[in-house]
Amino acid sequence: MLKLIPRDISWLSFNERVLQEASDHSVPLRERVKFLGIFSNNRDEFFRVRVASLKRMLEIETKMKMHSEKNPQKILDEVQRLNTEQQLSFEKVWTEVLAELNRKNIFLKNDKQLNAEQKKFILDFFDNEISANIVPLMVENIKKFPNLRDKSIFLGIAMSKTTDKSDRKYAIIEVPVTAVGGRFIVLPSKEGSHDIMLLEDAIKFNLPDIFSFLGYDEFEAHIFKFTRDAELDIDNSDTTTIIQKLEKGLKNRKKGKPIRLSYDENMDAGFLEYLLNRLGLSKKDNLMPGGSIHNFRHFMDFPSEVFTDKAKRKQPFIHPLLLGERVGDVLQRRDVLLNFPYHSFTPVIDMIREAAFDPDVISIKIACYRLASQSKIINALVNAVRNGKDVTVMMELKARFDEEANLQWQQTLTDVGAKVLTGIQDMKVHAKICVIKKRVKGKTTHYGFVSTGNVNEKTAKLYGDHCLLTANRFIMADINRIFNFLQKPSTGFHFLEKCKTLIPSPGFIRTELNKLIDYEITAAKKGHDAEIILKMNSMADAKLIEKLTEAAKAGVVIKLIVRGIFCMQSENKKFKYPIKAISIIDEYLEHARVWVFHNRGNQKVYISSADWMIRNIEHRIEATCPVKSPQLKQELIDILNIQLKDNTKARILNNELNNEYVASNEEAVRSQEEIYNYLVNKRY
């Protein structure tokens, strides 16, 4: 039987690569701070989703079809061990980063380190900005423990009196990060120095004032946070709408079972014991004692103004073919490939805006998964409806942690008269597709896009993705077929079966991938050149990994670029040629899915919204698109080859997943910089 690396262990290895970036002294200090925040945020979501799922599996003592884990307790034990190791590494890196901040004259001040001017500043700041958002909970007086939010941080406060140490009370204060506008308070500082105070320390400084009416004069306050099971339970047994079911599920998520507690190791022992009892946790659960700071995800928003270095990301640029001309007009002549974040996302917005005001445009259909908080795409679609266009939006309401935002967008679009599709029971719509219908002088044309990434102008500045803008009539016809299925999913998959160019999920993509791999296997066995290059976020599907293993044994050259989960054992003495498998973690998040098959020299190149995971292959609506233009095929292959040469930010994905950097005696190659240079100098 094929041996795989457990998915969750592989994911922890990925997050360790993120932590490596925070520990790398060659990374700018502001970015190191940010990577600590990313690591923390990743880990929180891992516990909310994956650890919670493993615990559910353990509780119901059954094997879930969507997971390959056979011994959840064994995996949970290994997760706990690795998590403890990573926490120690995290604390070491944070100590190093904090020391480096101090060397740059950037200081985090606690409530006992303020000078006279800063004390006055914090007293005023508390009165004006914080106090109205403070609601202390005297927890001993509450019969039912409050439903504390799992993304928040809290101060656990033990109060006593100098005159009577036995008179001891406990209280909880939620630190109002969102309400105040952030966790960091930039203090008045001497010239050349930057002093910063965390919001919780400002609250600590004001505890005597907060509790003055109770007569206590001694306070111990320590930070804590906990993580809830974030699985969204949707009851499909009744006849309510998907929106009503989702709203109910979101309410229930807020009451999810606590599965992890992180706290200041100096917390009052009595308060900690009380907290464990009220949360229903035991010392066998995931308890994470640590330093005085928790919820490091906020450090992704560390004040940028305190850094003196002026190093900035290179700015995205407009694709040369789209300068000074309407996007829709360009696409009538040729396809354009946008490579984010190097190319600007603006032409995607422009394409929808142009269509909204074009009198010849009849309809717009678009699938949305995750949108920017102030989405220009939604604004353009709203204007399109107001201009009389027939607008259909597939708004995936079950996009994890974006459910509430997507519910609001659904309402916005519905209110103006757009037709909003809200998904399919037991399945997510993850395809990133758009088709615009236009009629000029009796002739109907279509244009639009297929993308590997979300229709999101914010993440397009940070995520590496590809978006094919095209008027190819075969691709557009297939996008229409996918929308026909989305509008009438109960009629079956016959709309998807009719796709001639796009390869849709679920189901069809596995069949096609097996054919493509088998063709390379046959070529290799006949002594012909055979090669497969794959780039994706995650590779966990056991059947496809088994097929790749078969190909490697047959002599197919295999090169893999996988950012996150990687369950394949890439080292095997039976492989005719060693598999090259790397993960690139750098300034931008590598999010694209690109697949290249040698095909006896006539290379087949695809971009896709799907990773090689069971959920993408079998349980989601995805779109995989062949790239037909020889120029664009070569562009994608060139970009992949640049990444395969990376010897600066690439780590080897071996059987041990120990994240060794690719070693090379050749000139240093940092692929994200090289790709930018390649694209900015490219001539069309």
pLDDT surpassing 80 at residue 294: yes
Total count of domains within the chain: 4
Q: In whole angstroms, what is the distance from residue 489 CA to residue 466 CA?
A: 28
Whether 430 is a known active-site residue: answer yes
Strands 620-626 and 604-608: antiparallel
Residue 285 lies in a domain: yes
280 or 619, greater pLDDT: 619
Residue 366 lies in a domain: yes
DSSP designation for 345: S
Give the confidence band of 315 by pLDDT, cuts at 50, 70, 90. very high
The pLDDT value given to residue 254: 55
Hey, which residues does 562 pair with through a beta bridge?
Answer: 536
Residues 366 and 286 in one domain: no
Q: Is 214 helix (H, G, I), strand (E, B) or coil?
A: helix
Strands 106-109 and 194-198: parallel
Q: Is 234 helix (H, G, I), strand (E, B) or coil?
A: coil
Residue 267 lies in a domain: yes
Mean predicted lDDT score pLDDT of the chain: 90
Residues 454 and 366 in one domain: yes
Residue 339 lies in a domain: yes
Residues 352 and 456 in one domain: yes
- Average pLDDT, integer, range 520-542: 97
Residue 314 lies in a domain: no
Burial of 94 (0-12, 13-18, 19+ CB in 10 A): buried
pLDDT surpassing 90 at residue 64: no
Last residue of one domain, picked from the residues 83, 103, 123: 103
Residue 165 lies in a domain: yes
Radius of gyration of the CA atoms of the chain, in A: 27
315 or 285, greater pLDDT: 315
Q: In whole angstroms, what is the distance from residue 473 CA to residue 679 CA?
A: 27
76 or 381, greater pLDDT: 381
Instruction: Give the residue carrying structure tokens 């000074």.
Output: 324
Residues 437 and 463 in one domain: yes
CATH number at residue 617: 3.30.870.10
Strands 580-584 and 620-626: unpaired
Q: Is 58 helix (H, G, I), strand (E, B) or coil?
A: helix
Residues 227 and 278 in one domain: yes
pLDDT surpassing 70 at residue 249: no
Burial of 646 (0-12, 13-18, 19+ CB in 10 A): buried
Question: Which has the minimum average pLDDT: 242-256, 268-282, 352-366, 668-682?
Answer: 242-256
Give the confidence band of 253 by pLDDT, cuts at 50, 70, 90. very low
The pLDDT value given to residue 228: 76
Last residue of one domain, picked from the residues 466, 501, 536: 501
Instruction: Give the residue carrying structure tokens 């779109």.
Output: 623
Q: What share of the chain is helix, strand, coil (3-state, %, to 5)?
A: 40, 25, 35
The tokens for 1 are 């039987």
pLDDT surpassing 80 at residue 316: yes
Q: Is 390 helix (H, G, I), strand (E, B) or coil?
A: strand
Where in the sequence is the domain holding 367, given as residue range(s)? 320-501
CB proximity list for 317: less than 8 A, separation 6 or greater = 342, 343, 344, 680
What is the pTM assigned to this prediction?
A: 0.90
Mark out the alpha helices in 372-493 (DSSP H runs). 376-386, 403-416, 473-487
The tokens for 525 are 């066995």
DSSP designation for 441: T
pLDDT surpassing 70 at residue 247: no
Q: In whole angstroms, what is the distance from residue 377 CA to residue 338 CA?
A: 17
Residue 584 backbone zone (phi > 0: left; psi -120 to 50: alpha; other: beta):
beta
Strands 443-451 and 463-470: antiparallel
Which of these, 314, 287, 300, 233, lies nearest to 34 by C-alpha position?
300
The pLDDT value given to residue 67: 47
Diameter of the chain by CA atoms?
91
State the Cα torsion 385-388-389-392 to the nearest 10°: 40
Q: Please, are residues 380 and 364 in contact by the beta-carbon 8 Å criterion?
A: no
Residues 352 and 223 in one domain: no
- Tell how many helices (H) and how many strands (E) occur in the chain: 21, 25
CATH number at residue 261: 3.30.1840.10
Residues 299 and 364 in one domain: no
Residue 599 lies in a domain: yes
Q: Please, are residues 559 and 434 in contact by the beta-carbon 8 Å criterion?
A: no
Residues 275 and 348 in one domain: no
CB proximity list for 552: less than 8 A, separation 6 or greater = 558, 572, 574, 575, 576, 577, 579
Q: What is the pLDDT of residues 428-465, one digit of tens each?
A: 999 999 999 999 989 999 999 999 999 999 999 999 99
Question: Which has the minimum average pLDDT: 52-66, 309-323, 403-417?
Answer: 52-66
Residue type, 64: M
Question: Which has the minimum average pLDDT: 213-222, 228-237, 568-577?
Answer: 228-237
Give the confidence band of 58 by pLDDT, cuts at 50, 70, 90. confident
Residues 384 and 516 in one domain: no
The pLDDT value given to residue 55: 80
**b/e code 463-497 from CB counts within 10 Å (16+ = b):** bbbbbbbbbbeebbbbbbbbbbbbeebeeeeebbe
Reported as type and span, the H/E element at residue 435 is strand 432-440
Give the confidence band of 250 by pLDDT, cuts at 50, 70, 90. very low
Residues 235 and 364 in one domain: no
Last residue of one domain, picked from the residues 103, 122, 149: 103
Give the confidence band of 63 by pLDDT, cuts at 50, 70, 90. very low
The pLDDT value given to residue 240: 55
pLDDT surpassing 70 at residue 551: yes
- Average pLDDT, integer, range 249-253: 50
305 or 227, greater pLDDT: 305
DSSP string of 34-52?
A: HHHHHHHHHHHHHIIIIIH
Residues 656 and 614 in one domain: yes
Determine how many CB atoms are found less than 10 A away from the CB of residue 315: 9
Q: What is the pLDDT of residues 504-521, one digit of tens each?
A: 999 899 999 999 999 999
Give the confidence band of 287 by pLDDT, cuts at 50, 70, 90. confident
Strands 432-440 and 443-451: antiparallel
Catalytic residue among 67, 294, 298, 430: 430
DSSP designation for 601: G
- How many angstroms from the chain centroid is the CA of residue 568? 22
Burial of 637 (0-12, 13-18, 19+ CB in 10 A): middle
- Tally the C-alpha atoms within 13 A of residue 451's C-alpha that lie toward its C-beta: 28
Q: Please, are residues 607 and 636 in contact by the beta-carbon 8 Å criterion?
A: yes
Q: In whole angstroms, what is the distance from residue 387 CA to residue 379 CA?
A: 12
Residue 358 lies in a domain: yes
> CA angle 511-514-517, nearest 5°?
150
Residues 513 and 398 in one domain: no
Q: In whole angstroms, what is the distance from residue 543 CA to residue 68 CA?
A: 11
Q: Please, are residues 625 and 475 in contact by the beta-carbon 8 Å criterion?
A: yes
Residue type, 93: V
Q: What is the 3-state secondary structure (H, E, C) of 176-209?
A: CHHHHCCCEEECCCCCCCEEEEEHHHHHHHCHHH
**Alpha carbon of 296 to those of 301, 318, 391, 401: distances in Å?**
10, 35, 41, 18
